[in-house]
Amino acid sequence: MNQPVNQPVKRIGVIGGGQLAWMMADAAKRLSIALAIQTPSPSDPAVSIAAHTVFAPIADANGSAKLAAFSDAITFENEFVDLAALRSLSQTGIQFFPSLDSLAPLLDKYEQRCFLRDRGLPTPAFAVFDPAKLPDSYPVVLKSRRLGYDGQGTFICRDRAALEAVLQKFPVADPLSHWLLEGFVPFDRELAVMVARSQQNEIVVYPVVETQQENQVCQRVIVTPDFDSAVVEQVESIARSLLQSLDYVGIMGIEFFLTQDGKVLVNETAPRTHNSGHYSLDACVTSQFEQQLRAVSGLPLGSSALTVHGAVMVNLLGYETAELDYAEKRQQIAQIPRSHLYWYGKSQSRPGRKLGHVTVLLDEGNRDRALQIAQRVESIWYPG
């Protein structure tokens, strides 16, 4: 079990220095918390806001040991860590939130699926991929068990030829330990929720949102109260049950499929702040970033309530390989009423890379209006 610290900590280390760590800055300042980060590159976004930076790869436990010298507790911006190496550090008294035991069932997608199934939480049909036993029916979903994100490592295969083409393009030494095979879910919508749990076992669930993907990368998040109460109850029940089962401390993003008959299936989890919760910076009493710091530092959790009738968040994704700041496009987007634009300061653009996001607050919780605004943002951002 996680043991609560006696006093709220004032120095938090973050393994990872991308935009998720960067967006913790304002909350850290309000809470009088000093952030130290571990990240490989001086150009990573969070370097500019950190009280101290350890330049080391994310999976470098020696770097994490150096980070601990500037931290009273350590949390994570991403899950691409060397868990076994970090365990040796935890034995020296370094506190990790979420704990390494909480992370262990989540980092491998097959093991995550098994954990969910064994606790009665609904998931798509799944199995270890065996190249000697190719499926008879399609479509299927082939996923990398580790290190996949933003659609990378996930392939929707419509037929056997498509599956074989993926295997040929991405050969691996041991397909059994590398790939997960899932049944394709003909969903009605994709949903997500942020949920946080404190060291004192307090749980706070954020509003259920709709996510819309392009090329398996989240492009829009629609925050409107148009879900049936039964759907919301399913999502909240799953979220609470999962964090309790894991004895999890911190914030987690959970993605779901909503089937055409109103059932909810867990798609994936993200044991950290998550793209689907960015809207909370401007639309909630407590942002997901402040909530993470509150949980890790031992403070009481804040309210997750909306402060507006609705919102829409649009990711500003790279669509070319270039070194540009897109200042003119950003100025046009910022002129949209009630818009809040965040530019991550990345020096290079490439297709699919998250360069920034914009959240537009709504006067009413109307999904059609949210989609209209999203289309307006995208018409400015994307060429053609």
**Hey, what CATH topology would domain 189-381 get?**
D-amino Acid Aminotransferase; Chain A, domain 1 (3.30.470)
- Write out the two tokens for 122: 């609904």
Rounded to whole angstroms, what are the CA distances from 281 to 22, 25, 31, 127? 13, 12, 15, 38
Count of all residues that appear for the chain in the document:
384
**Residue 8 pLDDT:** 72
Helix (H, G, I), strand (E, B) or coil at 89: helix
Position 4 pLDDT exceeds 60? no
**Residue 50 pLDDT:** 97
Position 149 pLDDT exceeds 70? no
Domain 125-183 of CATH type 3.30.1490? yes
**Residue 25 pLDDT:** 96
Position 79 pLDDT exceeds 80? yes
Position 3 pLDDT exceeds 60? no
**Residue 5 pLDDT:** 45
* Helix (H) or strand (E) run with residue 144 in it: strand 140-144
**Residue 93 pLDDT:** 87
pLDDT mean over 303-316:
97
Tell me the sheet residues that pair with 151: none
Domains 125-183 and 189-381 equal at CATH topology level: no
pLDDT in tens, 82-134: 999 999 988 888 999 999 999 999 999 999 999 999 999 999 999 999 999 99
**Residue 215 pLDDT:** 78
Of the chain, the percentage scoring pLDDT greater than 70 comes to 97
**Residue 2 pLDDT:** 44
Q: Cα separation of 292 and 173, whole Å?
A: 38
Q: Cα separation of 349 and 227, whole Å?
A: 36
| pLDDT bracket for residue 298 (50, 70, 90) | very high
> What is the residue-wise DSSP string for 259-328?
-TTS-EEEEEEESS--GGGTTHHHHBSS-HHHHHHHHHHTPPPPP--BSSSEEEEEEEE--S-B----HH
Out of 3-7, 44-48, 155-159, pick the least confident.
3-7
Q: Cα separation of 258 and 49, whole Å?
A: 38
pLDDT mean over 313-341:
96
| pLDDT bracket for residue 219 (50, 70, 90) | very high
Residue ranges in 196-272 assigned as alpha helix (H) = 229-246
- CA dihedral for 275, 277, 283, 284, sign (positive or negative): negative
pTM of the model: 0.94
| pLDDT bracket for residue 1 (50, 70, 90) | very low
Q: Name the range with the highest mean pLDDT among 5-9, 152-156, 187-191.
A: 187-191
> What is the residue-wise DSSP string for 313-343?
EEEEE--S-B----HHHHHHHHTSTTEEEEE
**Hey, what CATH topology would domain 11-96 get?**
Rossmann fold (3.40.50)
pLDDT in tens, 350-359: 998 999 999 9
pLDDT mean over 194-210:
97
Could you state, in order of their start, the residue ranges of all structural domains in the chain?
A: 11-96, 125-183, 189-381
pLDDT in tens, 230-245: 999 999 999 999 999 9
pLDDT mean over 359-374:
96
**Residue 130 pLDDT:** 92
Position 58 pLDDT exceeds 50? yes
